[in-house]
Amino acid sequence: MQIGRWNHQSAGGSSHGGSGASRSSQGGSRPYSSPRPSRYGGGSSGGPRRYGSDRGGSRGGYGGGRGPSRGRGFGTFGETESEIAKFMNKTVVTTEEPVFIPEHKFADFDINAHLKANILARGYDLPTPIQDKTIPHTLLGQDVVGLAETGTGKTAAFLIPLIDKVMKQKGERVLIMAPTRELAVQIEKELAGFAKGLGFRGMVAVGGANIGPQISALRHDPAFVIGTPGRLKDLMERKALDLTGFGTVVLDEADRMLDMGFIDDMRMILSKMRKERHTLFFSATMGKDIEKLIGDFLESPVIISVKTRDTSKNVEQDVVRIPRGADKFEVLADLLKNREFSRVLVFGRTKYGVEKLAKDLSRRHIHAESIHGNKTYGARIRALEAFKTGRVVALVATDVAARGLDIPAVTHVINYDLPSTYEDYVHRIGRTGRASHKGIALTFVQER
């Protein structure tokens, strides 16, 4: 099959049941973006679209958030042809970027010998750009603003120097704030790998999990506390977490925490730390709100940007135009039956819609799981593990999965519902085409 192309043999026939259309990949076939309805025509003419509208509706889906995203409307990105054009990159001519040559090797950094051995044992040799530029400044105790897309290695960029700091400065404690439970858990797993055998603890404080064990873990004064703002605030209100002994804080995916309405919680939490603190701030974007946060939270920071492009050149992007009256669920189900769609992230807008979509796909014998803010912490972790290990073909998600998660070898991202902003689109499709892998991103566009 040629990427992004199908050979349409049915002429306006229904895509519901029957023999359907052939999936051969012959030359001259039409791309996904073809406005003609032959493959996707027919169906439930005039019937309502399933799983909610591409317009309006509840945003939902941001696990642990405090209501709808602030500073945003309830509209969508991709309702005009000029916006739709941003979902396609087939006609873009790109030039090869120069190969990055780091200034350092991990062996060169002045860090604890045991930590250095752990890094090398995990197969790390040359740092990524964000690691190469950030680690030296962090080791010097400077405040840092790191601007980088997801998948660039920024977790290691702050963990490695901060582990060294904890080893060398007795009693030093580190607070790491992350927007989602999944990202917090992922950071803790990375911490455990780098800090193996070093003799200190880290713990995760996230909502959706029993708070009792988290309170018990805090009694052991862990060197690293990694949590979402909402649960950290709850623990502070219960007098289980005292931040006066913490001298270092990391705000990871700060722009997403801002979008999720965590700003008041973030300010309250930081106000309870020592005034003279070491602050690391990571974000994929630099808007006016982010600039204000940096001015409020950091002292003369070093700003490091390794952003090179909006979207990865490893991701082929295209649209699937759904003719008026056609059922886009049938289109999705048809695509997912193709063997090349082997590990697919499907993005929807609402918690209810995502859950229903996953169940309906499962009824079609397409193995699918869902992840959204209404699922328990344990259920979300189980769904992610099933997807990572290949037990399910499709993970249907709200935008909670668009940031910070390390999901290897995602073959396709499908925007079943349009994203709210182009920024959300960029983060969604960033789940595929990671490292040296190629990926495909498809966006469903309902013709009106």
- Residue 305, strand partner residues: 147
More confident residue, 416 or 421: 416
Q: How far apart are CA 161 and CA 156, in angstroms?
A: 9
Q: Which CATH class is domain 32-94+312-446?
A: alpha beta
pTM: 0.62
In what helix (H) or strand (E) does residue 344 lie, and over which residues does it extend?
strand 344-347
Residue 329 has pLDDT above 50, yes or no: yes
What value does the mean pLDDT take over residues 379-404?
Answer: 85
Residue 446 has pLDDT above 90, yes or no: no
Region of poorest pLDDT, from 28-32, 142-146, 270-274, 414-418: 28-32
The fraction of the chain above a pLDDT of 70, given in percent, is: 77
Give me 301's structure tokens: 């920071």
* 147-181 pLDDT per residue, tens: 887 778 899 999 999 999 999 999 999 999 999 88
Region of poorest pLDDT, from 261-270, 285-294, 297-306: 285-294
Residue 438 is given by DSSP the state -
Phi, psi of 194 (to 5 degrees): -70, -30
Region of poorest pLDDT, from 55-59, 106-110, 271-275, 390-394: 55-59
pLDDT at 160: 97
Q: How far apart are CA 342 and CA 408, in angstroms?
A: 12
- Work out the pLDDT band at 310, boundaries 50, 70, 90: low
Residue 229 has pLDDT above 70, yes or no: yes
* 64-101 pLDDT per residue, tens: 333 333 333 346 777 777 777 777 765 333 334 456 67
What residues contact 38, with CB distance under 8 A and at least 6 apart?
Answer: 8, 10, 11, 12, 13, 21
Closest CA to 203 of 226, 234, 173: 226
Q: How far apart are CA 106 and CA 376, in angstroms?
A: 38
Q: How many CA atoms lie within 13 A of 117 on its CB side?
A: 6
Q: How far apart are CA 396 and CA 371, in angstroms?
A: 6
Tell me which of 3.40.50.300, 3.20.20.30, 3.10.20.740, 3.40.1280.10 is the CATH number of domain 106-305: 3.40.50.300
Residue 41 has pLDDT above 70, yes or no: no
In the chain, CATH 3.40.50.300 covers 32-94+312-446, 106-305
Q: How far apart are CA 67 and CA 155, in angstroms?
A: 27
* 190-221 pLDDT per residue, tens: 999 999 999 988 999 999 889 999 999 999 99
DSSP assignments along 397-418, one per residue = E-GGGSSS---TT--EEEESS-
Region of poorest pLDDT, from 86-95, 99-108, 401-410: 86-95
Helical axes 263-271 vs 288-297, angle rounded to 10°: 10
Cβ neighbours around 92 below 10 Å, total: 9
How far from 419 is each of 141, 348, 388, CA to CA, in Å? 38, 8, 24
Q: How far apart are CA 178 and CA 363, in angstroms?
A: 35
Residue 228 has pLDDT above 60, yes or no: yes
Residue 266 has pLDDT above 70, yes or no: yes
Closest CA to 320 of 293, 338, 305, 297: 338
SS3 state of residue 82: helix
The fraction of the chain above a pLDDT of 90, given in percent, is: 46
Q: How far apart are CA 77 and CA 178, in angstroms?
A: 26
